Structure 1
């Protein structure tokens, strides 16, 4: 979703069965961050898709086994944690990067579980929970042991940074036309990366090496994944299936 309205009419982008998708274009030069994970809404449930940027193919990782939301890559890029909707609530799951070894992390004792954040060493997760009245946060090891509450205010500091303050991406209308802009060091100086009337569904993702930017577009009919180089060149769509997408996450 678009953030609060900024000066000059711009919007800041901040905080925050097997089905093969048709990919329109892909880059052969992606030494880091080969995969993008994202949600696809296939009524009545959500799937997590993996988009291989080198091969130009996307497919479902969850394949109907659980309704899945908010994929988050582990620090080493080999596992994905996500919110699984089942049994009338939300529970944390983990699987490997290709959808194997799918398992629940917490069986009971933590209420509904949301917004997983990986330990720095990848051995466990922090998460927000609503066990009844009020909101709390927990930590847990990947094998389900060590479940313990943590201060919910401290949890907020564990959330990933929304954007790089030295390279803040904006979308909107400026200097006569709409486009995607880069503001460096939060100054008034704006660099136009590309002219486009596409709307952002959510904040863009920098590639791990900082060379590319990916985002999900939004209109009333469909959403697609787009990518461009950090200098604004080679702007292109990566998908063309028209299904509703969200929660884009670039592999480390």
Structure 2
């Protein structure tokens, strides 16, 4: 696939980046998707702003201007969760707000800790998120926490050490298990942290799992072949397949509502760009430049 030229690596945790959060309507030619909405971040502005656009880029609606990123849709599509940074970017906190930018609430307040990567439970009552920090001895702690969607009853799932938690449709948690040697593996566990199953075994860095709406497949990013690419596998870890073949970092995949397509982030001439492709890696299409951290809206009926 001769799609992407060499560029600088994309890092969703780069502290110097100021992010712009937006929405874009993107309807596939097949017209199979039930939803055309994609949330994303952009470096086009110094503040976070929510937009809605049609396929021609018209009908922009600005609805908020808060710093933050890493969008997660509620199951009904009416609210979003995201993180925002405080204390000169030393403290990251989870927030929620309505999809039009109203009713913004800060849910976590742990000072000097990075709360990020929120995701909603299938019934919308819970939010799971990652917390990362260094202790007084300089030891890095990757933790996974869960709370009610209003921010109450914040609880660490102590048996899970990792990042990028994501709910399956049946209420389990898929996440990136972080090991002491800095490698990671996509794993799955019950919501209480029991019955942990490691799904990948490559000694690589494997991050950002996203589960298809039918709960049958997981997409994720991995550097197992020397460069971060997009992969897909069955929910039990079988039938692992590489989908992208580029000389730059491909990251943060997200399933379409009907499970037929994926969006992901890559670099074109050093610019973070959102692409779509079929779930077998074919028919790669550029959606827009200056976009990152993309998430497809998948409404649960």
Corresponding position of 2:156: 149
- Structure 1 residue matching 2:160: 3-state secondary structure: helix
CA deviation map 1:116-174 (0-9, x unaligned): 23233212322233576263443322223223333151776734572678687999xxx
TM-score, normalised relative to structure 2: 0.54
Number of the residue aligned with 1:68: 68
Give matches, 1:206-221, under 5 Å.
206-221=255-270
* Structure 1 unpaired stretches of 5+: 1-17, 172-179
The answer to whether the Cα contact below 8 Å between 1:48 and 1:62 also exists between their aligned partners in 2 is yes
Whether the 8 Å CA contact 2:22–2:51 is kept in 1: the answer is no
What is the CA distance between 1:57 and its match in structure 2?
5.2
Q: Which of 36, 40, 43 is residue 41 of structure 1 equivalent to?
A: 43
Where relative contact order (Cα < 8 A, 6+ residues apart) is larger, the structure is 1
**Partner of 1:208: helix, strand, or coil?**
coil
Q: CA deviation at 1:228?
A: 3.4
Q: Residues 120 and 181 from structure 1, CA distance in 2 versus in 1: closer, same or farther, beyond 3 angstroms? A: closer
Q: Give the C-alpha shift of residue 87 in structure 1.
A: 3.5
Counterpart for residue 78 of structure 1: 78
CA shift digits 1:171-229 (9 cap, x unpaired): 9xxxxxxxx998896378x8xx89x8684531433212022222223134323222234
What secondary structure, in the 3-state scheme, does the structure 2 residue paired with 1:98 have?
A: coil
Is the contact between residue 128 and residue 152 of structure 1 (CA under 8 Å) also seen in structure 2? Answer: no
Question: Superposed, which structure 2 residues align to 1:146-225 within 5 Å?
Answer: 146-151=153-158, 153=160, 158-159=173-174, 162=209, 186=239, 199-225=248-274
What TM-score results when the alignment is normalised by the length of structure 1?
0.63
- Runs (5+) with no aligned partner, structure 2: 1-19, 166-172, 176-185, 187-208, 223-229
Distance in 2 between the 1:116 and 1:42 partners? 23
How many residues align? The count is 219
Say whether the 8 Å CA contact 1:21–1:59 is kept in structure 2: no
Instruction: Flag the 1:126–1:110 CA change in 2: closer, same or farther, 3 A.
Output: farther
- Kindly indicate whether residue 299 of structure 2 is the aligned counterpart of residue 248 of structure 1: no
Deviation at residue 93 of structure 1 after TM alignment: 0.8
Q: Distance in 1 between matches of 2:267 and 2:103?
A: 33
Tell me by how many angstroms 1:230 deviates: 4.4
Provide the C-alpha distance between the structure 1 equivalents of 2:144 and 2:22, rounded to a whole number of angstroms: 37
2:51 and 2:63 in contact (8 A); partners too? no
Q: CA deviation at 1:74?
A: 1.9
CA contact (8 A) 2:70 2:82 kept: yes
Contact 1:124 1:141 (8 Å CA) reproduced: yes
Distance, in Å, in 2 between the alignment partners of 1:52 and 1:214 is 17
Shift of 1:238: 2.0
Report the Cα distance in structure 1 between the residues aligned to 2:261 and 2:219, rounded to whole angstroms: 14
Listed one character per residue, the Cα deviations across residues 68-126 of structure 1 (whole Å, up to 9, x for unaligned) are 12111223332211111123321111122232222212346895422223233212322
Distance 2:254 2:112 in 1: 31
Aligned CA distance change for structure 1 residues 60 and 87 (closer, same or farther; 3 Å): farther
- Cα RMSD, aligned residues only: 4.6
